[in-house]
Every structure is written in C-alpha cells, then in structure tokens.
Structure 1
Amino acid sequence: MKREYKLGLVLLLSIVVLTACSVGSGDERGGEKEVNLLFNFATHSLDPNVDSSYVPLRAGVTETLVRLNDEKLEIEPWLAESWDSEDGKEWTIQLRDGVTFHNGKPMDGKAVKASLERAMNDNVAIKNALRIESIEVDGNTLHIKTKGYFPEFPSELVSPYTSIIDVTETDFVNRPIGTGPFAVTSFTPGSVVKLKRYDDYWDGPAKLKSAQFSFNEDANARSLALESGSADIVFRPEVESVPHLEELEGITVESTSTFRVHQLTMNLQRKALQDVNVRKAVDALLDRQSIVDTILHGHAEVAEGPFMPSFSFAPDYSKKERGPEAARTYLKKAGYTEKNGVMQKDGKPLRFTLLTYGSRADLPLIAQVFQSDAKKLGIQVEIRQIEIPEEYMAANRDWDLTTYSNLTAPRGDAGYYLNATYHPDGALNFSGADDDKLTALLDELNVTVDPKERALLSEEIAQYVDQKVLNSFVLYPHTLVAYNADKVKNWVTTRSEYYMLTNELDVN
C-alpha cells in the first residue's frame, strides 16, 4: 500500500479502530494525565490466571510475588519481600507489609494463598509448573511445600498466571481486583481496558491519573493510530512503517532484542512428521536470512535454536545443510520421490496443514514464504488462519505445522521453555513430544541448583532437541515499540515484555 493512500486512511482507521480512545490520549485534560497504549493482541478476558495475553500484568492491574530484572536477568522481590529454603522443597515466603488490593482489603497471607490456589485450580499449566503440595499461612508469611526437590520454584512465581488477586471479588473476566498502580474502570472485550490510578498503591501512586490499554491486531492500523495521535504508545507497529515513523517529529521507535523466538512448531503425532528426515527437510526449507531481511527488515537475528547465543545455556550448533536441494536429499532418505511435480511416497502426496495467526504480522508472511518454497519441491501446504494459537493447538490435532512465537527465557533461565515445550506435562508441549531420554534430562535439570551445571544440562537438552528436530527455529525478533516522545515520559521497553504501564510512566 502506498504511503499516500495510507495517510488518506489515517483518520478513518483511527475512528473505526479506536473508537474507545475518543476521550483523547497523552494530554493533560483538566489536570488529569492520561496515556493510551495500543497492543497487538486482543483479549476477551482479564482473568489473569488464564489470559494468555497477560493484559492484567502488562496494564499494571496485577502483580506477582517475584519479578524479573531485565538487565541483570535475575529474579527480584515484588509482592514478596524474600524467600528461602533449606532443602529446596519447603519454602518460606515473606510478603510485603502494607499492600492493599484495589478494594482496600489487605494483601495478606490468607489472600495470597487463596489466589495461588485459585490459579492452580483454574490453570493446569500453572498447577504443573508450581508443583505445590501445600500452603500454610502465618500472618504475612507463607510456608509452601513443593512436590519433591524444586530449587527453581521462586522463578516460576514470575509467571503472569500467578498474578495475585482478591478472589472474593468474582468478576475475574471484566474487573480483576489486583494490587498494581492501576485499577480497571471498564473493559470492552477485544477493544480496550480503561484504567484509573490507585491512589493507595504500595510503591507510590502512579504519575498518570488514568490510562487506556487498547487492542488492534492490524499492524498497519497500529502505525496509523500513532501517526494520527489516537495512540501514544504502539506495541509492534508495522515493520514497513518504521522508517516513516522515525522521520516524524517527536516519534521515537525502539527496536529491542528480547527472549523470544519465532519457530515452526511440528505436530509429532502426524505420521509424516514422525520421520526425522521429513522434519529435517522442513527445517532445511526455511530461508532464515531472507526472512530476516525481507519480512523483518533487519529487526531480528537468524535463529539456530530456542535461545539467543548471548545466553550461557545456548549451545554451539553444528553446521547444517540448508536449501531446497538439502531438503530434497532428506526427503529421499525418508522414501519420498518427486513424480509429475508432486513429492510423494507409496503413491501418497506429501501435504502439510500450516497454522498461523495475524496478531504477529510477520508470522503469516513467514508461512507464505514456506508455502512458496515447499511448492517448488512438489509439497502442497495449506495455510489455515486461527485466532488463539495456544487454544487451537491444545484442542486440535488436525494440523502439521504452526508458525508460533514463544518467550524462551523470560526468567533468565532455560528451564521454563524446555519444561513447558518438551516435558510430557508441559503447558506449551503442542508438538506432543514424549521422549524418555529427553524427559529424564528435564527431570535432572529440575533438581539441579548450581548455575554452571544447569547451563551445561540446558545445553545438552537444546542439542538433543536440535538433533531430533523436534521444532524448527526461524529467528529472534526484536520488540518494536513506537511512541510519542514529546508526550510520553519514562517508557521502558522490557525484554521480557511483561511490564508496561507502571507507576513511573508519565506524560508531559
């Protein structure tokens, strides 16, 4: 689409897309400071224990006991002041004094216990991740016993799914009662969350009087919203619009490396993909550098595995043969031959159903590139658009591949991604991986404390995943955030992508 045409649509799109923002954004109206953040994932529920978009945490409504320090890649206290264990199984967690929920009730041990128990009851992934056997309360002190030796237990409390809420207030979908700097005033599913400052916030009241956390899954519309002034902060603007946005007076664009990887998730329950040579062929077909250059316009790095090379637990991978001829060789080893322009085996053509979703604008484009390259080898790829990938992949097995984006080390450790993705009980094990050797390695990692030993084990697991080609890793995308720097003050683009609307965020 030409820039002239885009500019002509600015006002129209802003009105249609962001009607919820008509109050205005980023200005001081009557002394009330307000900001509007436009996010790329829409949500239809603010229940922090199940919302896969993590909106309550990102919007400053809820908080967790422990948070991640993005710079140091270490966990640090948040609602919990401290935690300790002598045996890696029985934990003592001291809660911060003087914290209240948005309804004025105290956040004490009893409330936190109820919140964690509710999270585990409603989210099996959290139940499996926390592995809590029992919780006892003594005032503002929690005594938690885990199911077996679990030295990495505190890092699991970083998860947005463990956000602490007052469970006696039961409208979790529309108005969860958290402890953050902002309280929900209204929620329009799929459109906007309107927020107001919580004056009794334990870490000092927010500088903003109010805020809006809006949604639009169209990257072009997000860019235009910033350009028109309908939004002050835009998460993941259209990549092609970045040079133009950077030229606009007052607009700042930040491109920050994250803990995220774009991958091609493989359904190991599909017959064709149970052959490692077919998986190697799929992996070889991905022209990673071309995708980085043409689709991401350089705002990414080529991926070899799930973890960026800067992590201590990222292994050095052996060089692989890439390209269509390498893919053809692997398919030949799997018993496939190309006849009349169709790759087939025993008279049956090789076909893939490839899932993708539009809230990350680059993923459908990656799917199209793969479809085009596969076609040259006589492989038919049907692209199917879905809305919520986690829900669809977990509930359906009628697909072969999915373009998927995943945070791999949001807690500064490899254990989260490796367990969630490759352990049989993992919350993100959409591939259906169930490998005895791999599971044994993961179980060993889960009881290893020493950082160096954990890094070596993590390397070994990542190498094993690579050898088996259990998934295919495409690139490490940067987080792109554009904002009106003439208005917005103290914005921080975090690598974890967890912490957005804070009490320090301000406008001129």
Structure 2
Amino acid sequence: MRLPARLVPLSAVAAASALLTGCFSGAASDGSAEGGEKRIRVAMMLPPRSGLSPLSDDAFKLSRWSTAETLVRLDADGDAEPALATKWQQRGRTWTFEIRDGVTFHDGTKLTAEAVVRSLTAAATAAPKPRILDGVDLTVRAEGDSVAVTTATEDPLVPQRLSSPQLSILAAKAYAGKTVSPVGAGTGPFELTKVNGTASASLDRYDDYWGGKAKSPGVDVKFVPDGTARAAALRSGEADIVEAVPVSQAALLHEDQITEVPMPRTNTLYLNTEDGPFKDASLRAAAREAIDAKPIVKGVYEGRADVAEGLLGPALPWAADLRSPVRRAKAGAPDGQTITIGTFTDRAELPEVAQTLQQRLQKAGFKVKLDVREYANIESDALAGEFDAFILSRATVLDSGDPAAYLFSDFGSKGSFNISQLSDGTVDAALEKATETKTGDARRKAVIEAEAAVLATDAAVPMLHERVIQGDAAGVVDVAHDPRERELITTDTYVK
C-alpha cells in the first residue's frame, strides 16, 4: 500500500539523497563557476537512450538545454515562427525557407543552406525516420541562401514539422561517425561539451550565439531516473532545477518550489489488436468498461491530473468543444483470459497505475500479469507487440505542436510508434484527411474525427491527462515551464 506523501520513510529520502551526492562534481558545491557566476545544475528524469542522437527522442534533451536548434520554433498557440529560418513560403508541394545569416555552429563553421540540407536529408533517410516524418516522403535541396523542402504530396504542416527537435540542424562533424553526435555541433546559446554515458552531461555558454549571450556560464546535467532522488536533490540544494517531480514528492517540497502546468500528455492503456485476447474487439470493450480513472487520479496522482474524455486533453481546449459521443463495440465476457500488461518505472506513478488496473481487470474476469521495467529495457518489446496491453504516458503534440502527427505515429497502420499494432482502414482514412487538411479550424475538426475513429476501435483507452510538475530552487530566474517539454534552459535562465 502506498504511504501518504508526508509519511515517506526518512530512510528512503536519505537513500535517495545519497544517489545525488557528488553528481554535480564538475562545479563547486554551491554551483559557482569562476568569476562568481553560477552554473545551472539540472536533474533530469530519463537518461539518453540513443547517445543523444537528434534522430531519436534524445533530441528533446538537446532542445531543453538550448544547444541544438531547428529552422522553425512554435509559439504558445502552436503556430510556426522564425528560428534558424527567417521566413518561408509554399508553392504546391515545395516550401522554401530563407536561412538566417550570421549563425555559426559551436565548432566555428558557418550555418549555410548546404548544412541545412545535410541535416534534414540525414533525418529523412534515417532508418527508422524520426516519427515527425512518419508517412512523409521529403527531399531537400539548396537554392542559394535558401532551402527548398519538397514533399510527395502537398503538406500544410511542413513548417510545424521542421520545428521538431528531431530535425535539429547540426554541423558537419556531427555526421562523421556511424551515429549522429551533437557534441560541439549545435547552434544554440549553450555548447554541449561532455557526455558521460547515461550519467551526466555538461554544457558551456557559447559566446558567439546569434541570439545574444546567455546569462548563465553553463549547465551541468545529471540523469536521475529515481523520482524520490530528484526531489531530494532539490530539497538538499544539490540541484537548481528538477524535471518531472513525482506527485508523491510534490507535497514534500515548498509550494514556491514547484510549478504545475496542464500538459498535452495522456496516460493511456494501449491494447494489442493484432495478437492475443485483445484481438477480439469485445474483450477490448470489456477492458475499457472495467477501467475507472477517477480513483487513479485521486489516489495515485493525488488530484494532480485530469480524467480523460478522449486522447487529447485540456492543454488543447478546443478538443472538448468539438468532441461527440463515440459508438463502440459491446463488451464480451473475459472468462478468465490471461493478459500481460507492461509499463515502466521511469515515471513513478505508472507502476501504481498498473497495480490498480490489475485489480480492476481481475475483478472484471481477466487474469492479469504485470511486467514492469525501466523504459530503455521495455520499449522495443512494446513496439514489437510483445504485450497484450501497455500503459504509456504519451505526449500528444510533442513533435509538431499538432496532434495529427501523434495520432498517425501511434495509430496509423504505418505509424512507427503503433504499440496497439492497429491496422484499420477507417482510422487510416481519417488520419489521412487530418494530415492533409490545412491548419486552422477545419484541421482541428478533422483531428477530432480521427480521434473518434481510434476510440471506436478500443485500441487505446485514455485514462487521464497529466500535469507537469517542475521543481525550481529559490535562486533560479527565468527558467521555462513548457507544457510541450521543448524548453527548459534559455538565454535568460540563471541562478542568483
């Protein structure tokens, strides 16, 4: 049984704190650097899974550290605005982007149209491709100081796609080896100077940054998968910024140290539609009817989440207004069918969610086994369809600021993150329509129609929408609180 937040054993807190001892040994104990300026000490949740390659989810770390940049960034509404590209225009299947002048990479080489072509081509021809390019055939060529991006069919979302951190622009040196290395190869205000495997990373201020000198001299990062240890680092003063504070730890921190933001992240139960018991739509319906998210929100998340009405949550307020009731299959009788549910330990709440679902589904007539591991050790099995069900905390607009890309990736028959192994003609047609519709109200309506098509299959049971809880020490100034988890350290961030 879970202990109330304020009754966590002191021995556990002490042990967690010990995990952080010496983790920021690259700086003085108070985080100071020479000259009296303080480096920023950050405790992050997930360690790199692909050597910080921008072609993987590790790209979002590079973005949050402000070391790698893209042609386009997104504003608060998800609309595209200039970054390494200053302007763009569309002619049919081709978008032309004018490249910003006066930008240098961290190795001193100049940002050119050819450099942009190299980076984008590497992403477009990677195997597998970054998920933002799922279903997109993209070619790139230089045209003077501009870059022409051409897609197989007209794509209204090209600028938003190019905002994905997985399409960061790096120097030629990044592509010299068998893997893409961002060390010393970005264009941002901080240069990645050292990576210590899955333990830590260091960044120094890049004084020739095109956007102006950063206020902090550097950033020291420690990867701390244990949520209790991350919170303990903030309490003990060993970290200045802590991402993803577990809800169980939030009550142990001073209220001025935490910021809670509704985020486009949904805790969803994915059901394997290709193999096993949940190939039967009536058993998927039985699982869906057995799940009650309200006790999970109240108990596991201590009220710091929102019960899901669909795959898209309150971070996209337009979704609720467009949503209509979904017609689903009738529930069948489980009759003791054995199912295995997988999830991971990196998000502290998910093992508890799994235990709660185990009880609910067993009560409904299933026999339930749990397989809980670290994410790095379970992702490949989940994508290969090795589980009957999988619990995932999934960002729904992480890549492009537009949920159509997430829906295609997770539920399209050709999607690269299709844990449900779903292959449904109605869903594919709805996803294609949403992808092809121009940005604006019409696209939003098409997105909700695609969501309804997915929900009608019961391939995914959305349970709740999470809120990001970030911990910041009292001396931290102007750190980003980004619901999309793209920004964290900016040029304005520093520690008093």
Question: TM-score scaled to structure 2, two decimals?
Answer: 0.91
Q: Partner of 1:311 in structure 2?
A: 317
TM-score by length of 1: 0.88
**SS of equivalent residue, structure 2 residue 484:** coil
- 2-structure distance, mates of 1:124, 1:319: 33
Aligned pairs (5 A) from 1:384-463: 384-386=371-373, 387-388=375-376, 389-394=378-383, 396-410=384-398, 411-449=400-438, 451-463=440-452
Distance 1:123 1:504 in 2: 37
How far the C-alpha of 1:30 sits from its partner, in A, is 3.5
| Per-residue deviation, 1:293 | 0.7
Equivalent residues in 2 for 1:238-277, closer than 5 Å: 238-246=246-254, 251-277=256-282
1:181 pairs with 2:189: yes
Take 2:249 and 2:417, find their aligned partners in 1: how far apart are those partners?
32
* Distance apart, 1:390 and its partner CA: 3.9
Query: Could you say if the C-alpha distance between residues 97 and 457 of structure 1 is closer, same or farther in structure 2, counting changes exceeding 3 Å?
Result: same
Cα pair distance change 1:416/1:18, threshold 3 Å: farther
Contact 1:50-1:123 within 8 A present in 2 as well: no
Separation in structure 2 between the aligned mates of residue 159 and residue 409 of structure 1, nearest angstrom: 10
What is the alpha-carbon distance in structure 1 between the residues aligned to residue 366 and residue 455 of structure 2? 23
- Aligned residue number for residue 23 of structure 2: 20
Q: Distance in 2 between matches of 1:267 and 1:273?
A: 6
Distance 1:421 1:13, change over 3 A: closer
1:123-151 per-residue CA deviation (whole Å, 9 max, x = no partner) reads 43338438344322123200121111111
Q: Which residue of 2 aligns with 1:360?
A: 347
Q: Which letter maps to 1:312?
A: W
Summarize the alignment of residues 78-117 of structure 1 with structure 2, pairs less than 5 Å apart.
Answer: 78-87=83-92, 89-117=93-121
Aligned: 1:55 with 2:46: no
Post-superposition Cα deviations, 1:86-139, rounded to whole Å, max 9, x if no partner, equal: 32x111111111111100101111011101111223343338438344322123
Residue of structure 1 equivalent to 2:485: 497
Name which of 129, 133, 151 aligns with 1:125: 129
How far did 1:9 drift?
Answer: 5.7
Structure 2 CA distance for partners of 1:425 and 1:296, relative to 1, 3 Å: same
CA drift at 1:52: 4.2
User: How many angstroms apart in 1 are the aligned matches of 2:59 and 2:150?
Assistant: 29
Instruction: Check conservation: 1:25, 1:35, Cα contact below 8 A.
Output: no
2:485 aligned partner, one-letter code: E
Cα distance in 1, alignment partners of residues 57 and 312 from structure 2 = 25
1:372 lines up with 2:351 in the alignment = no
The one of 199, 208, 214 equivalent to 2:207 is 199
Aligned residue number for residue 135 of structure 1: 140
Contact 1:174/1:186, CA 8 A, preserved across alignment = no
Counterpart CA distance in 2 for 1:107 and 1:391 is 36
The one-letter code of the counterpart of 1:282 is A
Q: CA deviation at 1:3?
A: 5.6
Q: Is the 8 A contact 1:59 1:213 kept in 2?
A: no
Q: Which residue is equivalent to 2:331? A: 330
Structure 1, gaps ≥5 residues long: 322-326, 337-342, 345-349
Query: Quick check: 1:129–1:156 contact (8 Å CA) kept in 2?
Result: no
Residue by residue over 1:175-212, the C-alpha shift from the partner in whole angstroms, topping out at 9 and shown as x without a partner, is 25111111122111221111111111110111110111
Give aligned-pair identity as a percent.
Answer: 28
1:231 equivalenced with 2:230 (yes/no) = no
Indicate if the aligned counterparts of 2:173 and 2:185 stay in contact, CA closer than 8 A.
no
Determine the C-alpha separation between the residues in 2 that align with 1:84 and 1:202. Answer: 23
Answer yes or no: is the 8 Å Cα contact 1:304–1:317 preserved in 2: no
Are the counterparts in 1 of residues 480 and 489 from structure 2 also a CA contact under 8 Å?
no
- With 424-433 and 443-452 compared, the bigger mean Cα shift is at 443-452
Superposed CA deviations along residues 476-503 of structure 1, whole A, max 9, x for unmatched, are 0000001112x10001211111111211
- Within 5 Å, which residues of 2 pair with 1:481-492? 481-485=470-474, 487-492=475-480
Whole-angstrom CA distance in 2 between matches of 1:270 and 1:25: 54
Tell me, in whole angstroms, the C-alpha distance in 2 between the residues paired with 1:47 and 1:153: 22
- In the alignment, is the contact (CA less than 8 A) between 2:55 and 2:167 conserved in 1? yes
SS in 1 for 2:129: helix
C-alpha deviation, 1:174, in angstroms: 7.0
Residue 73 in 1 paired to residue 75 in 2? no
Aligned to 1:347: none
The CA RMSD measured in Å over matched residues stands at: 2.4
**What letter corresponds to residue 369 of structure 1 in structure 2?**
T
Q: What's the CA shift string for 1:249-303, capped at 9, x where partnerless?
A: xx52101011111101111112321222211111122221111111111111000
Contact 1:174 1:187 in 2 (8 A): no
Partners in 1 of 2:33 and 2:477 — Cα distance?
13
What's the CA shift string for 1:387-412, capped at 9, x where partnerless?
23543322x32211111011112344
Change (3 A) 1:152 1:238: closer
CA 1:9–1:300: 2 relative to 1, 3 Å:
closer
The verdict on how the C-alpha distance between 1:80 and 1:370 changes in structure 2, with shifts beyond 3 A counting, is same
Provide the aligned length of Structure 1 versus Structure 2.
481
* 8 Å CA contact retained: 2:33, 2:217: no
Contact kept? 2:171, 2:186, Cα under 8 Å:
yes
